Amino acid sequence: MKSHHQSHSSTSSKAHDSASCSQSQGGFSQPQGTPSQLHELSQYQGSSSSSTGTVPSSSQSSHSSSGTLSSLETVSTQELCSIPEDQEPEEPGPAPWARLWALQDGFSNLDCVNDNYWFGRDKSCEYCFDGPLLRRTDKYRTYSKKHFRIFREMGPKNCYIVYIEDHSGNGTFVNTELIGKGKRCPLSNNSEIALSLCRNKVVRVGR
């Protein structure tokens, strides 16, 4: 009985010594286990090594946080439409000091900006009675070539006064009152001018 125990102990000691010898000779022995266990171990080692390799370095982190782009990154460009140059606004014209509003067909409105205007059938007049509608009226022949003129002059206190001056043969009327050839009278707002007849009102003075 004692000899059998000693032989079993010697056998275990030899097995232990042979395992130690194999570790010292190979440097590292493969782990023992089933094939599925070995496969799971290799997967764990691979995932551990890959996770270790993806950790960014401090230099990479600082480079990314600085907002600079790498050579591999591209930025899409967009064509910008051209912006037209600012056009200079047109200078406003002089403000009219009086306006004439037509009261009959064939006559037209007029903004008075010059100091003097002639009215009549002559083509040299600033306001010419030469429209086709006027030519067909029975009163056209009663209008003079230079019937009247409207002008303004500087009056007291540096204020302009607007006048109408009669140069017609058949008369010029302001509010049904005859002026008289070679005479003048001042005009006021809403004055109505008639030609040849006091009821033949053609224009009204306005502002």
* Dihedral sign from CA coordinates of 172, 174, 177, 180: negative
Give the tens place of pLDDT for each residue, 9-31.
444 444 444 444 344 444 444 44
The answer as to whether 49 is a domain residue is: no
Predicted local distance difference test score (pLDDT) of residue 28: 43
Give the CATH number, domain containing residue 171: 2.60.200.20
* Cα–Cα distance for residue pair 108/130, rounded to 1 Å: 11
Q: How confident is the model at residue 69 (pLDDT cuts 50, 70, 90)?
A: low
Q: Is residue 70's pLDDT more than 80?
A: no
| Domain count of the fold of the chain | 1
Q: Which domain holds residue 111?
A: 100-206
* Cα–Cα distance for residue pair 90/108, rounded to 1 Å: 26
- Residues belonging to the chain: 207
Residue range 150-161: mean pLDDT, rounded: 93
Dihedrals phi, psi of 6, to nearest 5 degrees? -70, -40
The answer as to whether 75 is a domain residue is: no
Bigger pLDDT: 52 vs 181? 181
The answer as to whether 179 is a domain residue is: yes
The answer as to whether 68 is a domain residue is: no
The answer as to whether 167 is a domain residue is: yes
Bigger pLDDT: 92 vs 57? 92
Confidence (pTM): 0.57
Predicted local distance difference test score (pLDDT) of residue 127: 97
DSSP symbols for 137-169: STTGGGS-TT-EEEEEEE-GGG-EEEEEEE--S
Q: Is residue 175's pLDDT more than 70?
A: yes
